Structure 1
Amino acid sequence: MSLDTIKNATETPDAAQPWKELGLKEDEYARIREILGRRPTGAELAMYSVMWSEHCSYKSSKVHLKQFGDKAPENTAMLVGIGENAGVVDVGQGYAVTFKVESHNHPSYIEPYQGAATGVGGIVRDILAMGARPVAVVDPLRFGAADHPDTKRVLPGVVAGIGGYGNCLGLPNIGGEVVFDACYQGNPLVNAGCIGVMKHEDIHLAKASGPGNKVVLYGARTGGDGIGGVSVLASETFDDSKPTKRPAVQVGDPFQEKLLIECTLEIFKEKLVAGIQDLGGAGLSCATSELASAGSGGMRVELDTVPLRDATLSPEEILMSESQERMCAIVEPQHVDRFMEICEKWDVIATVIGEVTDGERLEIFWHGEQIVDVPPGTVAHEGPVYHRPYARPEWQDALQADDAGKLPRPATSEELRAQVLALVSSPNQASKSWVTDQYDRFVQGNTVLAQPEDAGMVRIDEETGLGVAMATDGNGRFAKLDPYTGAQLALAEAYRNVAATGAKPLAISDCLNFGSPEDPGVMWQFAEATRGLADGCLELGTPVTGGNVSLYNQTGDIAIHPTPVVAVLGVIDDVNRRTPMAFSEAGQLLYLLGDTAEEFGGSAWSEVVHQHLGGMPPKVDLAREKLLGEILISASRDGMVDAAHDLSDGGVIQALTESCLRGGNGARVVVPEGLDAFTFLFSESAGRAIVAVPRSEELRFTDMCGARGLPATRIGVVDGEEIEVQGEFTIPLAELRTAHEATIPALLA
C-alpha cells in the first residue's frame, strides 16, 4: 500500500477513508475536510480521530465544565488551573502541590491488571510533567455486585495492577475507596489520583515555543499496545458480549517509569527544558499537537526517527499508539547534549524527533514524505462541541417518591443489634484491608495517615512538618436520587474527611463518571451534577483545578449510577498535630457534632437491610460543612481532640465501629435526647462528625463549639472492650472485628 502523503490526499479527494471505524461522525469528518481544504491523509485522520474522541476532547461535556471557571471562587491558593496536565496550588513555605484524578475504567474491565496499572502510570506522568516529584497515589474504585462471579475476575486484577505498579514506583497509596454495586457490573470504575510536590519556581507547562528548539521524545520505545487505547475505548459503550479489544489496552513497565521519573527530575533540576508533555491518551498525536498549539509557533516532526518496539508499525499506528512510559520535551539546542547525557545515565532512550518552527502548522514527515500538515489548535483544542439534549428522566419523580423513611424498622433491641452487625459486615461497610494490604502505604517514610483513615496525609517538609492531605469520595446512590445534591454530598464528604484530620481544604480535582451522553437522561444527570459541584465549590471556596470526565460507562441500555468522584486536597502546617480516627485511650469523651435528622434515602441501612434505593438523599448545608471544618481544624491545631471521624455511609454506628476497632478500645454511648436509637445509629445526615475529647479539654472544646454555633452533644465515653448502646444492646469488639473483617476475603476466596 502506497504512503498517503499530502500530495496524494490533494490529488485523490474522493478516496474512501475509514472515518467511521475510527469513531468519527459524518459531520466531524466533513469538518476535518473543511479545516484542511482537502481530505485528510491517513495520518491526519488518525490524529483527529483520537484527539476528537470523547475522552480527549470533552466534546459532550465542555459546555457544562465551563461553570468551573465561571463560578470559580476568588482569592484561592490556585497557581495553575484547568487546561494543563494537572492543577497546582500554593501550600506555603515556597511549596506548590499538584494533584489530579483520572479514569481508566474501560481498559480495566477488558484487562484488569494492565488497565489499572497503566492508569496509575498515566496519572503519575501527568504530575511529573508539571515539574513535581510524585509523592503519593490514591485509588477510588467501583465494582459490580460483590458476589458476582465477574467481580472475582476484575477486582483482584485491578488491585494487583494498582499495587504492582505503584509499589514498584515506590509511591505510597494513601487513600481511595472500594464500592460494590450491581450498576458497575459491566463498567467498573478505576479512578486513579496522584499528588506531587515542587517549589513554585519549578512549575513546568506544556508548550512548545522558540523556533529552532528541539522536540525530544524520551522513555520507552513505541509499540503496538494501546493503539487508540483509552482515547477510543473510553468513547463508546460496551456491548453485552464478553470483553474485547485487548490490544487497545496499554502494557505498563513500572521499572521503566521509575527511571523516567528520576531522569526527568534531574533534567528539571538542571533547567534543561522549555516545555514538556507526557504521552498518555492519544500518544504522540496529543503531545505534538498540544505542545505546538500552546506554543508560539509551529512544529516539524520526523516520525520515522521515533524508536519502535515493532518495526512493522505504520505512521498512523505510531501516532495513535498509547504505549506507556514516554515523555516529550522541548529543549533549546545548547542543552540537547546535556539532556542526552542525563537520559543515558538513567538508561532512558532519548531521540530528537523534530523542532519548533516559526510557522503556524504541525508538519509531520515519514522518510522525507509529508504526511501531516495541520493547524495544531484544530487537532488539540478545536474539536467538536456538542450541546447534547438533556431531560429529567421520566422515572426520577417515582424514584424520589419511593421514600426510604417508610421502610420497616427494627422492632426490638435484638433486631437492632442484628441490623448493626449486618451493616458493618456488608461489602461496602466491611474492612477493605484485603485490598489496602496489597499496597505499600508507608514507602518513602513520609506517610502519616493512610487507609482506613478519613484522609491520607503525607509530610512534604521534614524540618517544619508541613504536610498535605487528600480524600476522595463519591456516592452514586445519592447522585442517582438527585444528581445536584449527590455531587455536593460527594464534595462535602471529601471536604469533611480532610478537615477531620486537621488539614485545611484548599482545592479539588474531580472524576465525573457517567453513562452515555447520547442518552438525554444521562446528560441531565451530568448537567445537574456539574452544576451542583460548581455551586458547592464556590460556596466552600475550593476551586476546581482540573480533573477528568468519563462517559459511556454503559453496557447496552444499562448505565452506571451517576458517580461524580471528588478529591479534596488540604494543607496542614505540622503533621505532628494531625488527628487520627482511632479511639486510642480509655476515658476519652465522645461528642457528636452537627444535627441528626431522619435521613435514610440512599443510605447504607436501606441498601443492606432492604435492598432499597429511593427517596431523597440527605440535605446539604455547605455553610454548616464549612463551620464544622473550621472547628475540626482548630481543635486539631490546639490539641482539643484526640480523634475525629466524619459521619457518612452507615452513620454513627459505622463510625463508632471503625474508630473502636482502629484503636482497640470500646465505647459506651447513650442515645441523645430527642432521637430514637435507630435514627441515632443509622441516619446519614451530612455535616456531622464524632470526636474524642480528653477530659482536660472538654470545657475549652464545648465553649468553642458553643461560641461558633455548632451543635455538640456528648454521647458517651471510650471504655471497655465492647460497643454498648445503653438500654439497647452490647457487641464485643471481638465479634465486631470478625464481622467487619471476614467479608471481603470470604467473597474473593
Structure 2
Amino acid sequence: MSLSDADRDIVVEEIGREPTRAEAALFENLWSEHCAYRSSRPLLSAFDSDGDQVVIGPGDDAAVVSLPSHDGEEMYITMGVESHNHPSYVDPFDGAATGVGGIVRDTLSMGAYPIALADSLYFGDFEREHSRYLFEGVVEGISHYGNCIGVPTVTGSVAFHDRYEGNPLVNVSCIGLLEPDRTITAEAQEPGNKLVLVGNSTGRDGLGGASFASEDLAEDAETEDRPAVQVGDPYTEKLLIECNEALLDEELVESARDLGAAGLGGASSELVAKGGLGARIELDRVHEREPNMNAMEYLLAESQERMVYEVAPENVDRVAELAERYDLGCSVIGELTEAGTNYICTFDGEIVVDVDAEFLGDGAPMNDLPAEDPPERERDLPTVDLEEAFERIVASPNTASKRWVYRQYDHEVQVRTSVLPGDDASLLAIREAGTGLAFSAGADPNWTDAAPYEGARAVALENATNVAAKGALPHAAVDCLNGGNPEKPDVYGGFKGIVDGLADMCTELDVPVVGGNVSLYNDSNAGPIPPTPTLALVGVKEGYDAPPAKLSGEGTLVVVGDRALEGEADPCLGGSEYTAQFGGTDAFPKLPADPASLIETIADVADADHVLASHDVSHGGLAVALAEMVHEDAGADVEIETVDRGTRKRLFFNEQPGRVVFETTDPDALYETFDGVAPVTELGEANGSNHLDITVNDDTLRYDAEEIAALRSTITDELA
C-alpha cells in the first residue's frame, strides 16, 4: 500500500508535516475510489433521494424508509446494497460470504433486524470452466453464510457475459425491519462517551481491502491478492445479530457503525466525523487473534463480524456483560472528545494518528474525468429459423431456470416469504404493519452494453414492473453502480450513461433512490466489464397474496404494454438475448412515454379478481415469458399475426420492458382499465393441457411442458 504523491502533497499541506506510516495507509484507504467515490460522486447528484417515506437517506450505513400501515403499527425498513467483486474473483466462497456479512451488519448498525437478502451475480461465459468455478463458489458462499445466520435470500438475478470473465460482480442487498423508536445512526453523539468494539477478534485478514477494491485486477490476483480477502464466520455473525438486539432492547447504544472497508480506522473515523467530534483511541486495547500486530494492521484489517458502538460511560459494564453472554469479544478502545479536537490513535504509548476526522473522511479531491458517448449502432440482424431461435434463447443460461441457484438458499426462514424465488419478485409479509413488501433486484448487462443510458432506464423499469406484476407499487430503491476503469474516457462515458439513465427513470417513476454503492476499476486482462447498474427495489401493497407467474389454465392470455405488437413501435432487438446468441446489432427498444401511469395501472390490475396469473415480459421476450408460464398442469394456445412477415421474430424476441402477460377471465376489463395508458393485445387461451402452441403467421411451434423444462435446465444439467 502506498499513498500517491499528489494525495500525499495535499495531506502534508493540511497537517503541516509528513504523515506517519499508519496515517498514510489510512488516507490511502479512505481516499480510495471504493471509500471516497472520487470519480463517481460528481455524478450521483442526478439521483432524487427525497420523499415522504424517506426517514434517513444516503450517507449512513443503510437507508431508512417508512412503510404504509394497513391495520398495523408504524414500521420502518432499512435498505442497503454493497459489492464484493474483486474479493469474489480471488476467493469466490469467502468473497461472496463476507459480502453477505457486511451488508447484514450495515443493517444492524441502524438498529434493524435483517429479514431478507437479494443477490445479483454476473459472470463470464457460462461455457467456460473458470466462469462455472466462480459461479459455484459464489453461490456456495452466499448460501452458507445466509443460511447459517438465518436470513432468507428471497430474490436476485444471474447474468452471463463474456466481459465478466476476468472480473465477476457480486452485488448483495439486505432489507431490515425496524421499529421507529429503535433507530440509531452512525453519527457520534456526545463527548465523553466510550467507543466499544464488540464481536470477533481482529486479525490480519482483509488488510488493505478498500485499496485493493479500487484498482484493476492483475493477472496474478488470485494468488497475490488473497490476503486482502476477508474470512467470514457466520456463526459469530448470528451471535452478533442477537447481541445487537439485546443492546437495543436495553437502550445501551448511542450510535453504531459496522467494521467494513478500511476496518476500525474507517468505521471509527467516519462515525466521529459525522458527529463533528474528535476521538482518542488506544489500539493496544483491541482484542486480537494474532500476536505482534502493528498499528496499521489494527487500523485497517477488515476482519469480519465486528461493530463499534458509542456507549455512555455508565452503560459500558452492561455492554460487556451482554457481549460475554453471546460469547463475543468486547474492548473499550477509546472515547469521544470535544468538537474541534482531532481523531487520535495511540499504540505502545505513542501517537500514530493525529488528524482531523472530517478531513480524513471528506478531504479527498474529486476526479474530473473526460467521458465519451458510445457509438450509434446500425441495424444488422441475421436471419434465423424461428424454431432454432426459440430453443436457443429459452435454453440460454441468461434466460434458463435459476432453480439450481435459489434452491441452495433457505428462502423461507423467518416465515415471511409469501412469494418464493423464481417469480418476478418476492413478496414478504410484514405482519406488524399489515403490509406486503415486494422485492426485486438485478440488471441486464446486454442492455447496458448495447445502450448505457437507455439500458439503465430499462433496468429501472424492469424492476418496477416486477413488483407491479405482483400487485405492489414501487416505494424506494438502492443501487449498486459497477463500472470499469473510469480513467478510460469510453468506460467513464458508459458509466455516466448508466447513472443518468437509472436516475432519470427512477425520477419518472417517482421512486426515491435512498442509498447505494459504487464499484469502479472492474477491469482485467479480459477488458472492462459492461457498465452494470444493479437496482434493488421494493414495492408495497395491502396483504400478502399475489397472482402467480404460472398459468391456471382457465383464462384468456393478454399482454399489456406491447407497443410493437400493435404497430405503435419498431420491435427492436438491441441488447437482446437474440443478438447475444446469433450476433448482429440493432437499436434499443423504445420505452413507454408514461411509465409511472403504466406501472401504477399494472399494480392495480394484478390484484383484480379476474386475474389468474401475471408475469412480466423482459429477458428473452415474449417467447421466454410464455415458456415460463406453462407447466405440467396448464398450457396455452397463442397466435400472433403480423402484416410485415420480416418482423415476426423481432416481435417474439424483443425485450422491451414494461410489458406484462395476464391470464384473465375478463379481457374486456383489461381493455377498459388500460385505455389511454397502454396497448392491450389478446394472445390466445390458456388450457388444461401441458402444451405451449404458438403460431406466428404460418410458422407453428409446439412444445410440451417436459420439453420446455428440459430446455430451461441448462444450468442444472451442467452443475448438478
Normalization by structure 2: what TM-score?
A: 0.95
Counterpart code for 2:64: V
Partner residue of 1:709? 677
State whether residues 500 and 645 of structure 1, in contact with CA within 8 Å, keep that contact through their aligned partners in structure 2.
yes
Q: Does 1:175 align with 2:144?
A: no
Q: Deviations over 1:558-611 (max 9, x none)?
A: 1111111111111122112x222111x222211110112411011111212x13
Secondary structure in 2 matching 1:121: helix
Q: Does 1:253 align with 2:233?
A: yes
> How far off its partner does 1:710 sit?
2.3
Counterpart code for 1:27: A
> How far off its partner does 1:471 sit?
0.9
Partner residue of 2:587? 616
State whether residues 73 and 541 of structure 1, in contact with CA within 8 Å, keep that contact through their aligned partners in structure 2.
no
> How far off its partner does 1:675 sit?
6.9
Q: 1:675 to 1:723 in 2, by over 3 A?
A: farther
In the alignment, the residues of structure 1 paired with residue 61 and residue 50 of structure 2 have an alpha-carbon distance, to the nearest angstrom, of: 22
State whether residues 598 and 677 of structure 2, in contact with CA within 8 Å, keep that contact through their aligned partners in structure 1.
no
In the alignment, the residues of structure 1 paired with residue 651 and residue 45 of structure 2 have an alpha-carbon distance, to the nearest angstrom, of: 41
Counterpart code for 2:544: V
Q: Does 1:607 align with 2:574?
A: no
Partner residue of 1:16? none
**Residue pairs, 1:576-595, within 5 angstroms:** 576=545, 578-583=546-551, 585-594=552-561, 595=563
State whether residues 558 and 667 of structure 2, in contact with CA within 8 Å, keep that contact through their aligned partners in structure 1.
no
Partner residue of 1:553? 522
Q: 1:748 to 1:638 in 2, by over 3 A?
A: closer
Counterpart code for 2:193: N
Q: Does 1:667 align with 2:636?
A: yes
Partner residue of 1:688? 659
- Of residues 588, 603, 622, the one that matches 1:652 is 622
Q: Percent identity?
A: 39
**Residue pairs, 1:226-375, within 5 angstroms:** 226-229=206-209, 231-241=210-220, 243-244=222-223, 245-359=225-339, 360-375=341-356
State whether residues 284 and 319 of structure 1, in contact with CA within 8 Å, keep that contact through their aligned partners in structure 2.
yes
> How far off its partner does 1:483 sit?
1.2
> How far off its partner does 1:342 sit?
1.7
In the alignment, the residues of structure 2 paired with residue 468 and residue 431 of structure 1 have an alpha-carbon distance, to the nearest angstrom, of: 24
Counterpart code for 2:271: L
Partner residue of 1:736? 708
> How far off its partner does 1:632 sit?
1.9
State whether residues 468 and 606 of structure 2, in contact with CA within 8 Å, keep that contact through their aligned partners in structure 1.
no
Counterpart code for 1:588: G
State whether residues 95 and 229 of structure 2, in contact with CA within 8 Å, keep that contact through their aligned partners in structure 1.
yes
Q: 1:674 to 1:633 in 2, by over 3 A?
A: farther
State whether residues 272 and 278 of structure 2, in contact with CA within 8 Å, keep that contact through their aligned partners in structure 1.
yes
In the alignment, the residues of structure 2 paired with residue 121 and residue 718 of structure 1 have an alpha-carbon distance, to the nearest angstrom, of: 44
In the alignment, the residues of structure 2 paired with residue 206 and residue 678 of structure 1 have an alpha-carbon distance, to the nearest angstrom, of: 54
In the alignment, the residues of structure 1 paired with residue 163 and residue 49 of structure 2 have an alpha-carbon distance, to the nearest angstrom, of: 34
In the alignment, the residues of structure 2 paired with residue 233 and residue 206 of structure 1 have an alpha-carbon distance, to the nearest angstrom, of: 25
Partner residue of 2:470? 501
State whether residues 540 and 622 of structure 1, in contact with CA within 8 Å, keep that contact through their aligned partners in structure 2.
no
Partner residue of 2:382? 408
State whether residues 83 and 517 of structure 2, in contact with CA within 8 Å, keep that contact through their aligned partners in structure 1.
yes
Counterpart code for 1:712: V
In the alignment, the residues of structure 2 paired with residue 315 and residue 622 of structure 1 have an alpha-carbon distance, to the nearest angstrom, of: 57
> How far off its partner does 1:510 sit?
0.7
State whether residues 76 and 542 of structure 1, in contact with CA within 8 Å, keep that contact through their aligned partners in structure 2.
no
Q: 1:363 to 1:241 in 2, by over 3 A?
A: closer
Q: Deviations over 1:392-418 (max 9, x none)?
A: 35xx23xx12x2xx42334xxxx3123
> How far off its partner does 1:60 sit?
0.9
**Residue pairs, 1:510-521, within 5 angstroms:** 510-521=479-490
Q: 1:148 to 1:214 in 2, by over 3 A?
A: same
Secondary structure in 1 matching 2:174: strand
> How far off its partner does 1:643 sit?
1.5
**Residue pairs, 1:191-202, within 5 angstroms:** 191-202=171-182
Partner residue of 2:372? 391
State whether residues 216 and 524 of structure 2, in contact with CA within 8 Å, keep that contact through their aligned partners in structure 1.
yes
Q: Deviations over 1:538-567 (max 9, x none)?
A: 211111111111111111471111111111
Q: Does 1:473 align with 2:447?
A: no
In the alignment, the residues of structure 2 paired with residue 260 and residue 715 of structure 1 have an alpha-carbon distance, to the nearest angstrom, of: 53
> How far off its partner does 1:75 sit?
4.0
Q: Does 1:37 align with 2:16?
A: yes
Q: Deviations over 1:2-32 (max 9, x none)?
A: xxxxxxxxxxxxxxxxxxx43x321111111
Partner residue of 1:188? 168
Q: 1:675 to 1:732 in 2, by over 3 A?
A: farther
> How far off its partner does 1:673 sit?
5.8
Counterpart code for 1:723: L
- Of residues 73, 79, 101, the one that matches 2:55 is 79
Partner residue of 1:492? 461
**Two-structure CA RMSD over aligned residues (Å):** 1.7
Q: Does 1:140 align with 2:120?
A: yes
Aligned length: 702
> How far off its partner does 1:297 sit?
2.0
Secondary structure in 2 matching 1:575: coil
In the alignment, the residues of structure 2 paired with residue 622 and residue 497 of structure 1 have an alpha-carbon distance, to the nearest angstrom, of: 19
Q: Deviations over 1:588-639 (max 9, x none)?
A: 211110112411011111212x134x3322222351x322211221123333
Q: 1:519 to 1:139 in 2, by over 3 A?
A: same
In the alignment, the residues of structure 2 paired with residue 109 and residue 276 of structure 1 have an alpha-carbon distance, to the nearest angstrom, of: 30
In the alignment, the residues of structure 2 paired with residue 688 and residue 520 of structure 1 have an alpha-carbon distance, to the nearest angstrom, of: 35
> How far off its partner does 1:74 sit?
5.4
In the alignment, the residues of structure 1 paired with residue 593 and residue 304 of structure 2 have an alpha-carbon distance, to the nearest angstrom, of: 41
Partner residue of 1:437? 407
Q: Deviations over 1:343-385 (max 9, x none)?
A: 2221121111101111421111113211111100111122221
In the alignment, the residues of structure 1 paired with residue 402 and residue 50 of structure 2 have an alpha-carbon distance, to the nearest angstrom, of: 38
In the alignment, the residues of structure 2 paired with residue 592 and residue 641 of structure 1 have an alpha-carbon distance, to the nearest angstrom, of: 12
State whether residues 256 and 307 of structure 2, in contact with CA within 8 Å, keep that contact through their aligned partners in structure 1.
yes
Identify unmatched segments of 5+ residues in structure 2.
565-569
Q: Deviations over 1:78-109 (max 9, x none)?
A: 11111111111111231111112210000000
State whether residues 173 and 450 of structure 1, in contact with CA within 8 Å, keep that contact through their aligned partners in structure 2.
no
Normalization by structure 1: what TM-score?
A: 0.91
State whether residues 429 and 649 of structure 1, in contact with CA within 8 Å, keep that contact through their aligned partners in structure 2.
yes
Partner residue of 2:567? none
> How far off its partner does 1:525 sit?
1.1
Partner residue of 2:95? 115
Counterpart code for 1:98: T
Q: 1:30 to 1:203 in 2, by over 3 A?
A: same
| Greater Cα shift, 252-261 or 239-248 | 239-248
Counterpart code for 1:225: D
Partner residue of 2:694? 725
In the alignment, the residues of structure 1 paired with residue 400 and residue 281 of structure 2 have an alpha-carbon distance, to the nearest angstrom, of: 53
State whether residues 635 and 686 of structure 2, in contact with CA within 8 Å, keep that contact through their aligned partners in structure 1.
yes
In the alignment, the residues of structure 2 paired with residue 501 and residue 445 of structure 1 have an alpha-carbon distance, to the nearest angstrom, of: 19
State whether residues 76 and 541 of structure 1, in contact with CA within 8 Å, keep that contact through their aligned partners in structure 2.
no
State whether residues 46 and 319 of structure 1, in contact with CA within 8 Å, keep that contact through their aligned partners in structure 2.
no
State whether residues 73 and 537 of structure 1, in contact with CA within 8 Å, keep that contact through their aligned partners in structure 2.
no
In the alignment, the residues of structure 2 paired with residue 547 and residue 332 of structure 1 have an alpha-carbon distance, to the nearest angstrom, of: 31
State whether residues 169 and 258 of structure 1, in contact with CA within 8 Å, keep that contact through their aligned partners in structure 2.
yes
Q: 1:100 to 1:132 in 2, by over 3 A?
A: same
> How far off its partner does 1:73 sit?
6.6
State whether residues 471 and 568 of structure 1, in contact with CA within 8 Å, keep that contact through their aligned partners in structure 2.
yes
Q: 1:73 to 1:517 in 2, by over 3 A?
A: closer
Secondary structure in 1 matching 2:611: coil
In the alignment, the residues of structure 1 paired with residue 611 and residue 8 of structure 2 have an alpha-carbon distance, to the nearest angstrom, of: 62
